[in-house]
Amino acid sequence: MKKALKILGIVLLILIIAIISIPFLFKGTIQDKIRYLVNEHVNAKVDFANIDVSLLRSFPQASVIIEDLSIINYEPFEGDTLASSKKIILNMSVNELFKDASEAISVQKIIINEANVVIKTDSLGNSNFDIANKQEDTVQEAPVEEESGDFTFSLEHYEINDSKILYQDDISKTVLEMTHLNHSGDGSVSGDKVILDTHTDAEASFGFDDTKYLNKNKLRLDAEIELDLKNQKYVFKENKALINRLPLEFTGFVQLFDEYTDIDLSFKTPTSDFKNFLAIIPETYAKNLDGVQTSGDFSILGVIKGKTDETHIPTLDIAIKSNNASFKYPDLPKGVSNILIDVLIKNKTGIADDTYINIDNLNFRIGEDNFAARGTLKNLTKNLLVDMMLKGKLNLDNLDKAYPLELEQKLNGIVTLDLRTNFDMQSLEKEQYQNVKSTGSARINDFTYASTELPNEINVSSANVSFKPGTISLDQMQATTGKSDIAATGTITNLMGFLFAKQDLKGNFDVTSTIFSVNDFMIAETESEASKKEEKTSNTTSTKDETMRIPSFLDATLNFDTKKVVYDNLQLQNTKGTVKIKDETAYLENVSSNIFDGGLAFNGSVSTKSKVPTFDMALDLSQIDIVQSFNNLELIKGLAPIARALTGNLTTQINLNGNLNEDLTPVLTSLKGKALAEILNAQVSTTKTPLLSKLDSQLNFIELDKLDLKDIKTNLSFDDGKINVKPFDFEVKGIKITAGGSHSFDQSMNYNVSLDIPAKYLGSETSGLISQLSEQEANTMKVALPIGITGNFTNPKVDLELGSAVKDLTQQIVSKQKDKAKDKVKDKGKEILSGLLGSNDKKGDSIKTSKSDTEETLKSTAKNIIGGFLGKKKKKDSTKTKN
């Protein structure tokens, strides 16, 4: 007995050691097996973090755990992850661990956790799942032997937990996404067939041709599937699906052949309760259906049958019907009644292009308003053909009173339709509007529209549109928005393209208005929430980017006639012209208006397409009031700060381009261009500007306040934030003035002014000098007085260059005295010549006296001139001396 127990203990010890040690012994074998399979069959980069083998986890079976498996594509999807999984667990018999790497391993259970599968087909037809190694022709022609080196599955159970599958086909523009996917199945063998009992839960999103038909709709499927692996036939026995809350039952089979797939499926709603219709709508929009009162019926009955291959699809016969149905939500005041639905989805030939949707009847009533539609949608896969009739009256305000809509804005207004339209999508996309055949009319009253591209609601009191083949006419529209009122007529060339093909709205309109405020049509574009969060994280103050933007969806020409246009603080009267809006740019042509008691003519453009708005303009301001223009136009303030001190009229032609601020006012430092300014007449007020005040205090011979400027022209150019003024001449009270230089928009300046001052304006201090001149000489002799002006307009520096003026005056007087001296010498020469007949001593004395007199005269002249400029100071000094 002791010996038996001892032997039993030894056996148990060996088993325990085996259970512990076998995973370590065979871990390498499993890794070799996976690597062997990868190299043999897969043209992709396959990687995993770790492989673990355990006998304890699922004893008496062995468990193989693969962690962080990833399959990464090579070209043409280089670097894309085809599939990944956090963990894969394979359960198998311990005997499978002893097999060679080239031998098949049978798996009874598989669990896949947190898988992410992305299946793509690009626009060239390449598929990222096509990763199987291509076999050589010689291998393909060899006799087929039993496969070796693979995993074989005799599954009793499998699971896919919390996974995600994305299918994207760029050719058909189809996107199917399954998220939060949980799928499990239990298998049993019946002869040559396997029976799978499966359960699936997921959220599904489905889009086709840029239209989203499902958005995270909940799906549930309980399916019993019979697998005939030998004949590759899969039979669906008792199957129940739930799409949102819509129950469906379906039966049939799918069988795979080498050249095609044979499908025979039928499905139906198990009941005809009208709640089935509401259940189709995503729960986000349908809200809680508890307590909803319904009447009438709703049913879906369909058959999908036939062969599918590269050129064929199964035939379709799907009927969706409802008769005299109604529903009412318990907490809403109105209900929807008289619901009639009769829709067929059919394909009789198996050619995808022959699929069509026939809407025999679609009708509903809300309160007293009834709406009906009939028509067909054909050629769904290539060039959609639409033939629809819409008729009825609908008070938009009643929509959210009858159905729990979550709208960005409240709808209101009354729409009346009587329209028949026939068009194809290619004609819309190619703008072949002659192929769009629409007849009838549409009318809307008391309609309010809001958009992210408009700062204020647009209130349309009435609008009538008539449809004719090839044209859509806006017969009449009365609207207001903000402070603006608009009356318009015109033609719309692509209303269907705007509604169905995401095109810009194109048209030509004649617009009249009593008041038109430009800011009512400019959006304020604010920064994104992400930017706000980022700035908040970095502890910086969040500021809004309120850049005005021209609506991007407009491609229109407007001929306008407006009594008053308001732009910022400007008011333009009797404004006429044309504006063409396209690609976020407004082109203004032949604009004329009255402003600042004068006239305005304008041509140019404003673009908000780039991040920084830009403009280019040619502006003609005629006989405008200087005071009003300076007080209201930042541009005039920057171009001519001196205008603050002027009253009168100005005419200017300006050609400019540059950047714009958020409110579409010019960024002055970015300006480039030129201008011609003409002061027609102006009075000067020296107290209005420090520059003129300082000049007036230093120039005692000119009273600037009494100046009357008239017909003064100057040329300006703008570049790099500077205004360059070409030197120009004008005359004030007999004084010729030449001025030129530059200043910047930060008010710094550098100007040179030269005054030709008549000698008689130098004052009584120079009267002694001037008395030596003849009256004619005193009136005509002028002195050039240069003045340098620097600093800025609020704190100017005025430099009267007196030394230069003195030098100029001295040279002129000296020149005059020389001329006089020469004349005296000539006269003296005559005396000397006549004296030659007399004493020689007298001759010498006369010559010496003449030379001495000339030198004294020059010295005296220069001394008196300097005294003339500094006469006041001198006078005070001499007075002190006498005292």
Q: Using 50, 70 and 90 to split pLDDT, how confident is the model at 317?
A: very high
Q: What is the pLDDT of residue 130?
A: 80
Q: What is the pLDDT of residue 391?
A: 93
Q: What HEC string does 600-650 produce?
A: EEEEEEEECCCCCCEEEEEEEEEEEEHHHHHHHCHHHHHHCHHHHHEEEEE
Q: Using 50, 70 and 90 to split pLDDT, how confident is the model at 505?
A: confident
Q: Stretch 192-198: mean pLDDT, rounded?
A: 81
Q: Using 50, 70 and 90 to split pLDDT, how confident is the model at 806?
A: low
For the chain, give the longest Cα–Cα distance.
185
Q: Which of 787, 781, 823, 808 is nearest to 862 (CA)?
A: 808
CA angle 163/164/168 to nearest 5° reads: 160
Q: Which of 183, 252, 175 is nearest to 219 (CA)?
A: 183
Q: Which of 679, 701, 704 is nearest to 693 (CA)?
A: 704
**Which of the pair, 865 or 256, is modelled with greater confidence?**
256
Mean pLDDT for all residues in the chain: 76
* pLDDT above 70 for 617: yes
Contact between residue 87 and residue 67 where contact means Cβ atoms under 8 Å apart: yes
Q: Stretch 532-556: mean pLDDT, rounded?
A: 56
pLDDT in tens, 766-783: 555 556 666 676 667 777
Q: What is the pLDDT of residue 555?
A: 83
pLDDT in tens, 843-854: 445 444 444 554
pLDDT in tens, 385-441: 889 999 999 888 888 888 887 766 677 889 999 989 888 888 777 767 667 788 899
ω into 330 cis (within 30 of 0): no
Q: What is the pLDDT of residue 673?
A: 86
Q: Using 50, 70 and 90 to split pLDDT, how confident is the model at 290?
A: confident
Q: Scanning the structure block, which residue is given the tokens 């259940």?
A: 279
Q: Stretch 34-63: mean pLDDT, rounded?
A: 72
Q: What is the pLDDT of residue 774?
A: 67
Of 286-290, 343-347, 447-451, the range with the lowest mean pLDDT is 286-290
Distances in Å between the Cα of 450 and the Cα atoms of 271, 276, 412, 446, 460 are: 42, 34, 11, 14, 11
Find residue 660's DSSP bridge partners. Answer: 666
Domains of the chain by residue range: 596-799, 808-882
Q: Using 50, 70 and 90 to split pLDDT, how confident is the model at 533?
A: very low
**Which of the pair, 355 or 535, is modelled with greater confidence?**
355
Q: Using 50, 70 and 90 to split pLDDT, how confident is the model at 520?
A: confident
Q: What is the pLDDT of residue 512?
A: 93
Q: What is the pLDDT of residue 131?
A: 79
pLDDT in tens, 676-714: 887 777 667 666 677 777 777 777 666 666 666 777 788
Q: What is the pLDDT of residue 382?
A: 79
Distances in Å between the Cα of 1 and the Cα atoms of 8, 286, 671 are: 10, 77, 111
Q: Using 50, 70 and 90 to split pLDDT, how confident is the model at 340?
A: very high
3-class DSSP assignment, residue 747: coil
Q: Using 50, 70 and 90 to split pLDDT, how confident is the model at 344?
A: very high
**Which of the pair, 614 or 381, is modelled with greater confidence?**
614
pLDDT in tens, 452-492: 767 788 888 998 988 877 678 889 999 998 889 999 999 88
- Distance (Å, whole) CA 461 – CA 448: 9
Q: What is the pLDDT of residue 828?
A: 60
Q: What is the pLDDT of residue 156?
A: 79
Q: What is the pLDDT of residue 853?
A: 52
Q: Stretch 376-381: mean pLDDT, rounded?
A: 86
Could you write out the DSSP letters of every residue in 689-721?
-HHHHHHHHH-TT--GGG-EEEEEEEEEEEETT
Q: pTM for this one?
A: 0.56
Q: Using 50, 70 and 90 to split pLDDT, how confident is the model at 253?
A: very high
Of 13-17, 194-198, 586-590, 741-745, the range with the lowest mean pLDDT is 13-17
* pLDDT above 90 for 225: no
**Which of the pair, 24 or 767, is modelled with greater confidence?**
767
Could you write out the DSSP letters of every residue in 299-362?
EEEEEEEEEESSS---EEEEEEEEEEEEEE-TTSS--EEEEEEEEEEEESSS-GGG-EEEEEEE
**Which of the pair, 138 or 806, is modelled with greater confidence?**
806
* pLDDT above 70 for 218: yes
Q: Please state whether beta strands 570-582 and 45-47 pair in parallel, antiparallel, or not at all (unpaired).
A: unpaired
Find residue 523's DSSP bridge partners. Answer: 549
Q: Scanning the structure block, which residue is given the tokens 């030939």?
A: 349
* pLDDT above 90 for 187: no
Q: Stretch 155-178: mean pLDDT, rounded?
A: 86
3-class DSSP assignment, residue 458: strand
Of 175-189, 775-789, 812-826, the range with the lowest mean pLDDT is 812-826
Q: What is the pLDDT of residue 870?
A: 41
Q: Which of 560, 549, 553, 469 is nearest to 508 (CA)?
A: 560
Of 222-231, 517-526, 856-865, the range with the lowest mean pLDDT is 856-865
- Distance (Å, whole) CA 135 – CA 222: 39
**Which of the pair, 12 or 419, is modelled with greater confidence?**
419
- Distance (Å, whole) CA 159 – CA 178: 16
Q: Which of 383, 378, 322 is nearest to 348 (CA)?
A: 378
Q: What is the pLDDT of residue 501?
A: 61
Contact between residue 501 and residue 428 where contact means Cβ atoms under 8 Å apart: yes
pLDDT in tens, 662-678: 777 788 788 888 888 87
